[in-house]
Structure 1
Amino acid sequence: MTTPSNCPFCHLPAERIAGSNEFGLIVRDAYPVSPGHTLIIPKRHIGSFFELTTEERNALMALLDQARTELQSSYQPQGYNIGINDGAAAGQTVQHLHIHLIPRYQDDLPDPRGGVRWVIPEKARYW
Structure 2
Amino acid sequence: MDNNCPFCTIDETKIVLRNETCFAVYDIFPATEGHMLVVPLRHAPSFFDYTPEEISDVWALVSECKGLLDERFSPDGYNIGMNLGECAGQTVFHLHIHIIPRRIGDTENPKGGIRHAVRGKGSYGPRR
State how far apart, in whole Å, the 1-side matches of 2:55 and 2:36 are. Answer: 17
Structure 1 segments, 4+ long, off by >3 Å, are none
Q: What residue in structure 1 maps to residue 65 of structure 2?
A: 67
Give the whole-Å Cα distance in 1 for the aligned partners of 2:32 and 2:119: 20
CA distance in 1, matches of 2:7, 2:97: 12
Give a deviation string over 1:94-126, Cα, whole Å, max 9, x none.
000000000000100111111000001211111
| TM-score normalised by L of structure 1 | 0.96
Which structure 1 segments of 5+ residues have no match? none
What is the distance in 2 between the residues matched to 1:16 and 1:31?
A: 14
- Matched ranges for 1:1-127 at <5 A: 4-127=2-125
Moved more, 114-123 or 33-42: 114-123
Q: Could you say what secondary structure the match of 1:126 adopts?
A: coil
Q: Which amino acid in 2 is paired with 1:107?
A: G
TM-score normalised according to structure 2 size: 0.95
* Secondary structure of 1:123's aligned partner: coil
Cα distance in 2 for residues equivalent to 1:123 and 1:73: 33
Q: Give percent identity, aligned residues only.
A: 43
Gaps of 5+ in 2: none
Q: Give the total of aligned pairs.
A: 125
* 1:89 Cα deviation from its structure 2 partner: 1.1
Provide the C-alpha distance between the structure 2 equivalents of 1:80 and 1:64, rounded to a whole number of angstroms: 11
Distance 2:121 2:104 in 1: 23
